[in-house]
Structure 1
Amino acid sequence: MTDMSYLDGNMLDGPLRELFAVDLSAATSRCQSCGTLGPMAGLHVFSHAPGLVARCPVCSEVMLRLVRAPDRAWLDLRGATFLQVPMPLDRPGRL
């Protein structure tokens, strides 16, 4: 690999803040286990754990975990191969 300049992870703050400022219930994801494609709103969410656990509606595998503390949150999306988020076309400063 050739020597390429890079920016540190702080550069992601703006783009990620824009991304997660949208309603994720309309986002589409694919289950890593069975390949089911569907909206986040269609996941089966369980709140009996110390956080939220969202499972695939077809195979019941865990796709998302969200745990909150007073000063931080942990988001685990290992069970999803991707998260496709619809973005409004009229937002200034888009990539």
Structure 2
Amino acid sequence: MSDHLDGNDMLGGLAEIFAVDLSTATAPCANCRQVNVVAELRVYGGPNAPGLVARCPGCEHVALRLVRGPESAWLEVTSTLRISMG
């Protein structure tokens, strides 16, 4: 049994912020420079957690943090070099 989800579990929350599908977007890790597809990041958290944390599958460095409230969402991407489409 795995202790993490995959990046697809974060895509619903990201869809509330971005007008594009980020499942195939790439997000290079700021720590190890591994280029990751967002859908393949290791996501921690769940339905009862206050937010989701996505980590690089190569080095476990935090890549994205997403917290959703009743009327707002906060996304931190400071640990990712960039999010690229295509």
TM-score by length of 1: 0.67
Name which one, 1 or 2, has greater alpha-carbon Rg: 1
1:11-64 deviation line (CA, Å, top 9, x unaligned): xxxxxxxx9211111111100000000210110000154200000000000000
Q: How many residues align?
A: 68
CA distance in 1, matches of 2:51, 2:30: 21
Q: What 5-or-longer segments of structure 2 have no aligned partner? A: 1-16
Q: 2:40 aligns to what? A: 42
Higher relative contact order (CA closer than 8 Å, sequence separation 6+): 2
CA distance in 1, matches of 2:33, 2:69: 31
- Equivalent position to 1:29, from 27, 30, 40: 27
TM-score by length of 2: 0.73
Q: What 5-or-longer segments of structure 1 have no aligned partner? A: 1-18, 87-95
Partner-residue secondary structure (3-state), 2:39: helix
Q: 1:62 aligns to what? A: 62
1:44-92 deviation line (CA, Å, top 9, x unaligned): 0001542000000000000000000011000000110000024xxxxxx
CA distance in 1, matches of 2:76, 2:36: 18
Q: CA RMSD in A?
A: 1.5
Partner-residue secondary structure (3-state), 2:63: strand
Q: 1:52 aligns to what? A: 52
Counterpart of 2:18, as a letter, is F
Partner-residue secondary structure (3-state), 1:24: coil
